[in-house]
Amino acid sequence: MWSISIYQGNSPFSLEPSRAPALTKESVTDIAADFVADPFMLQHDHRWHMFFEVLNAQNQRGEIGLATSNDGLTWSYQQIVLREPFHLSYPHVFKFQDALFMIPETLGAGAVCLYKGHDFPSRWSCVARLIEGELADPTIFNVNDRWWMFACSTPYQHDTLRLYLASELTGPWTEHPHSPIISNDPQRARPAGRVLKFDNKLFRFAQDSIPRYGSCVRTFEILDLTPNSYTEVEIGHGPVLQASGHGWNAAGMHHIDAHQLPVGNWLACVDGTE
């Protein structure tokens, strides 16, 4: 059973729970839900918006839910904002050129799909198929006017990470010459949230799926990122998020989306499982 919480701290790598949990399956009011997970959030029109997977208890299919908050700490569930004939999760939401986009995991579509927000935040439509193939947890970011995307090409083994690049958001996307950049390593291959730009550095979060799926979240600094090279190194002395041994995140945690506030401290939405 996955739930969503909010963590705070002076650093994105040193966070403490502020509310545990902020959203659970009981928060969902328009469908019967088995769990909520994979939260991404952003501020728009002076209000926080969080998008996350809601597992529909009736058809066992993931749908994308919305919650809103004035302060980022107390959240109110609103509604399901995106459903498809296939499973949806990992709703990576972002702004680009005054428009709002989302790239959820869309394995059932056989491609990584780009959605655009209309009448934000309640209506979304698919505007492009970016990369063909079954890719889990696609994680997009822009560096030096070039688009990059991490994605796991082994959705059920969690052990292979691929890297793609494009000069335009809608493509064409090509695979990096060093991709897959990780193979046969379920402890660091699968993405675990938005790529973080902090202190003039880039950081990638990864799920550690040993001894079980979603055990904890590890952090890697991207040292070299060019169309022809890629290097990263793990930072810290342990996971940035991990199982607490009791309560809502007793058994594991596998996702983080951290944002720096104007006053300098950090706010992150995370998930955990009992």
Both tokens assigned to 18: 């502020």
Mean pLDDT of 30-46: 97
Q: What is the predicted pLDDT for the residue at 226?
A: 97
Domains of the chain, residue spans? 2-273
pTM as predicted? 0.96
Q: Any idea of the CA torsion for 84, 273, 122, 26, to the nearest 10 degrees?
A: 100
Residue 84: the pLDDT is 98
- What does the pLDDT read at residue 208? 97
Question: What is the mean predicted confidence (pLDDT) over 148-162?
Answer: 96
Q: What is the mean pLDDT of the chain?
A: 96
Question: Tens digit of pLDDT for each residue in 202-236?
Answer: 999 999 999 999 999 999 999 999 999 999 999 98
For residue 9, with 0-12 CB atoms within 10 Å meaning exposed, 13-18 middle and 19 or more buried, which class applies?
middle
Q: How far is CA 164 from CA 39, 140, 201, 228, in A?
A: 23, 9, 20, 11
**Torsion-angle region of 145 (φ positive above 0: left; ψ -120 to 50: alpha; else: beta):** left
Amino acid residing at 222: I
pLDDT for res 237? 77
pLDDT score for 238? 85
In the prediction, which pLDDT does 236 show?
Answer: 83
Nearest of 264, 266, 270, 212 to residue 241 by alpha carbon: 270
- The fold adopted by the segment(s) 2-273 is Tachylectin-2; Chain A (2.115.10)
Tell which residue, 136, 69, 78, 80, has the closest CA to residue 103: 136
- Residue 108: left if φ>0, alpha if ψ -120 to 50, beta else—which one? alpha
